[in-house]
């Protein structure tokens, strides 16, 4: 069973290091270059402006914590992630927006508690009671059994190396009540985060803690190696599951970034469906409004006017508005 | 080094009292309390036996099994109070009780590990090697002294099947602890040396108000 909580993003406090990519991204399907449809009005958004908008949405830390128990082991873990960077490329082929160079990095704090009594055998000293007859009374001396403690093993912080994310979005428009929203829908992507390199660190820390604990219990010196092995064997059986839970939380936190939510589209801009054209004048002279009947966002690469030999400007997001 | 103090029982120690007089004894921890031991005359032909009361320390107090709060035994039987675990945080404790008869009367009988009497016994399981010096005080012979050398147990020496016994005779004709230093009897399997995880038991052959303490 697990329980925990995730905190919403807070103001940014740090920057990530250089990324390395380990993210799967969907293929972009090539399509015919688009042209802005005929419309009553258009709004253009540049690639740089969109990059700035996305960076503002990304550039903030995020944290979460959780815990779980696996037989004699309990684990508590907290994650602090920094998200930064991000550059938008508008792709008119396929009408997609590609986001590159997002860097996620952070620190995992993990502690493991072990109920040694649930793992180690019952050991009593002496193995059986020693009896003797004194003044006609047979008495037996005590047999003292070892109470195995529950220990907590704090682990050194585990660094989440900088992870480079690249994702693709579809741009779309949808009416939301009295407004029209231009939104980005993220294409499903999976993040491959592998914490198995930390297994040896965890096992070494647990071994040291168990050995230190058992070393303080008198009378079991010759048994300590076997007892430690027993604990490590039990840990080996669940360590992948414990780290998998940490990886799951990591994925949950990244999904919590607004831009990457697979269920909640990221809104670029919002346009009121009713546009005031002329204000109300004298009595009987009512306000003149126009109602937007449709909005079509299209990525367009502007064509330079011939015959000037200048390179084509970068694509723009052109929002075409039609009134009823 | 272990600490030996017959007045303050610790998990590796036990206090034994042999009940020689019939009657109803009330006993408790530190002071006489509600616990009862009924002592009846021993039926003919029946051997004496030992009853072990296992003491635990839970939620800040000493406790015993519910079926031992009112115990019934026979004259000549002995009772051993002991803590079965070396759980950390268990404080020292003492056992005190009597049969409720007027103090000084012929029928009066009491027991207390704070003041060992005749046929009482006290045992200590040694966890730590070392050279131990201890005092026997309270008896007629003033302060007697004894010693034990406890060596680390070699893996080749198996656990003992009997304790080392020291007889204290501090009554009308005081004698030093016997044997001193403490050893196992000659001819004992695995030698006479006291090793860690061996138990030593001190028994009072004569005397009263005896206290054992390491120096």
Residues of B in contact with A137 (CB under 8 A): 18, 48, 50, 76-78, 119
Within 13 Å, how many C-alpha atoms sit on residue B10's CB side? 14
Give yes or no for B151 touching A (CB within 8 A): no
Q: What is the mean pLDDT of residues B118-146?
A: 93
**What are the sequence ranges of the domains in chain B?**
13-114, 124-214
Phi-psi sector, B135: left (phi>0), alpha (psi -120 to 50), beta: beta
Cβ B52–A146 below 8 Å, yes or no? no
What confidence tier does B73 reach under pLDDT thresholds 50, 70, 90? very high
Strands A144-145 and A137-140, sheet pairing: unpaired
- Give the per-residue pLDDT at A5: 55
Helix crossing, A199-215 with A224-256: angle to 10°?
A: 140
Using the beta-carbon criterion (under 8 Å), do B85 and A127 form an inter-chain contact?
A: no
According to the per-residue pLDDT averaged within each range, which of A40-54, B80-94, B120-134 is highest?
A: B120-134
Task: State the smallest CA–CA distance between residue A211 and chain B in angstroms.
Answer: 18
> What whole-number distance in Å separates Cα of residue A136 and Cα of residue B42?
14
Q: Which long-range contacts (CB under 8 A, 24 or more apart) does B30-34 make?
A: B30/B93, B30/B94, B30/B96, B31/B96, B32/B96, B32/B97, B32/B98, B34/B69
**What token pair was written down for A204?**
């070494």
Buried b (16+ CB within 10 A) or exposed e, B167-183: bbbbbeebeebeeeebb
Q: For residue A164, give Cα distances in angstroms to A179, B31, B73.
A: 35, 71, 78
Residues of A in contact with B84 (CB under 8 A): 142-145
Residue A159 has φ and ψ, to the nearest 5°, of: -80, 130
- Strand B164-169 relative to strand B199-206: parallel, antiparallel, unpaired? parallel
Chain A residues with CB under 8 Å of B80 CB are 139-140, 142
CA distance B149 to A143: 22
Token pair in block for residue A280? 């109300």
pLDDT tier for residue B81 given thresholds of 50, 70 and 90 = very high
pTM for the structure as a whole: 0.69
ipTM of the complex: 0.85
Q: CA B9 to CA A17: how far, in whole Å?
A: 61
Is 70 exceeded by the pLDDT of residue A14?
no
Evaluate whether B165 touches B190 at the Cβ level (below 8 Å): no
Mutate to test the interface with A, among B15, B47, B126, B127 (most CBs of A within 10 A): B127
User: Tell me: the pLDDT tens digits for A16-72?
Assistant: 333 333 444 333 333 344 566 677 888 888 888 888 888 888 888 889 999 999 999
pLDDT in tens, A234-270: 999 999 999 999 988 988 888 778 788 778 888 888 9
- Residue B133 CA to residue B145 CA, distance in Å, equals 7
In the numeric block, which tokens belong to residue A104?
């996620």
Mean pLDDT within A269-286: 84
Instruction: Report the pLDDT value the prediction gives residue A308, as an integer from 0 to 100.
Output: 66
CB nearest to B203's CB, from A130, A134, A138: A134
**B42 shares contact with chain A (CB less than 8 Å):** no
What is the 3 state secondary structure string of B89-129? CCCCECEEEECCCCCCCCCCCEEECCCECCCCEEEEECCCC
Mean pLDDT, rounded, for B81-106? 90
Closest CA to B177 of B150, B215, B206, B199: B206
> 3-state DSSP call for residue A232?
helix
pLDDT of residue A254: 83
The neighbouring-strand residues paired with A100 are A87
Band (pLDDT 50/70/90 cuts) for residue A275 is confident
Looking at chain A, which residue has its C-alpha nearest residue B79? A139
CB–CB contact A142 B16 (8 Å):
no
Q: Which residues pair with B40 in a beta bridge?
A: B74
In whole angstroms, give the CA distance from residue A124 to residue A219: 10
A210 near A228, Cβ under 8 Å? yes
Gap between the Cα atoms of B16 and A316, Å rounded:
94
Are the beta carbons of A251 and A104 closer than 8 angstroms?
Answer: no
Contact B2, B11 (CB under 8 A): no
Q: Which residues from A are below 8 Å from B11, CB to CB? A: 144
């Amino acid at each position: 069973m697990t329980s925990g909580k995730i905190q919403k993003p807070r103001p940014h406090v740090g920057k990530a290091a250089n990324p390395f990519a380990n993210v799967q991204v969907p293929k972009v399907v090539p399509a015919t270059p688009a042209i802005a449809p005929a419309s009553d009005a258009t709004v253009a958004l540049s690639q740089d402006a969109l990059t700035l908008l996305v960076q503002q949405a990304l550039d903030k830390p995020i944290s979460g914590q959780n815990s779980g128990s696996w037989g004699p082991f309990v684990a508590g873990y907290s994650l602090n992630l920094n998200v930064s960077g991000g550059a938008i490329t508008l792709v008119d082929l396929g009408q997609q927006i590609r986001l590159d160079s997002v860097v996620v990095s952070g620190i995992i704090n993990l502690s493991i508690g072990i109920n040694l009594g649930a793992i180690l055998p019952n050991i009593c000293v002496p193995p059986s009671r020693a009896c003797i007859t004194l003044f006609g009374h047979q008495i037996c001396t005590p047999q003292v059994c070892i109470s195995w403690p529950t220990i907590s093993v704090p682990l050194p912080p585990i660094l989440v190396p900088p992870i480079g994310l690249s994702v693709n979005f579809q741009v779309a428009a949808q009416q939301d009540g009295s407004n029209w929203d231009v939104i980005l829908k993220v294409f499903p992507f999976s993040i491959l985060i592998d914490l198995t390199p930390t297994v040896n660190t965890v096992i070494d820390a647990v071994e040291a803690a168990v050995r230190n604990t058992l070393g303080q219990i008198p009378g079991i010196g010759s048994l300590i190696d076997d007892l430690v092995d027993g604990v490590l064997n039990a840990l080996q059986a669940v360590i992948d599951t414990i780290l998998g839970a940490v990886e799951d939380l990591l994925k949950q936190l990244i999904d919590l970034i607004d831009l990457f939510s697979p269920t909640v589209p990221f809104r670029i801009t919002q346009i009121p469906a009713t546009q005031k054209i002329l204000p109300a004048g004298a009595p009987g002279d009512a306000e003149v409004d126009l109602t937007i009947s449709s909005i079509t966002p299209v990525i367009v690469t502007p064509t330079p006017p011939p015959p000037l030999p200048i390179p084509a400007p970068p694509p723009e997001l052109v929002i075409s508005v039609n009134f009823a | 080094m272990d600490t030996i103090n017959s007045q303050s029982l610790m998990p590796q120690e036990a206090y034994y009292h042999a009940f020689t007089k019939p009657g109803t004894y009330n006993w408790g921890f530190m002071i006489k309390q509600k616990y009862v031991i009924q002592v009846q005359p021993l039926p003919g032909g029946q051997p004496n036996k030992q009853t072990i009361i296992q003491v635990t320390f839970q939620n800040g107090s000493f406790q015993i099994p519910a079926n031992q709060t009112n115990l019934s035994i026979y004259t000549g039987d002995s009772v051993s109070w002991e803590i079965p675990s070396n759980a950390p945080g268990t404080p020292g404790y003492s056992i005190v009780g009597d049969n409720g008869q007027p103090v000084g009367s012929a029928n009066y009988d009491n027991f207390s590990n704070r003041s060992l009497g005749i046929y009482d016994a006290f045992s200590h399981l040694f966890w730590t090697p070392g050279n131990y010096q201890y005092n026997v005080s309270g008896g007629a012979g003033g302060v007697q002294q004894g010693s034990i050398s406890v060596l680390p147990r070699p893996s080749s020496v198996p656990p003992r099947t009997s304790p080392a016994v020291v007889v204290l005779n501090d009554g009308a004709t005081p004698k030093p602890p016997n044997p001193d230093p403490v050893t196992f009897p000659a001819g004992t399997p695995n030698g006479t040396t006291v090793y860690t995880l061996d138990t030593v038991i001190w028994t009072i052959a004569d005397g009263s108000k005896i206290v054992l303490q390491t120096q």
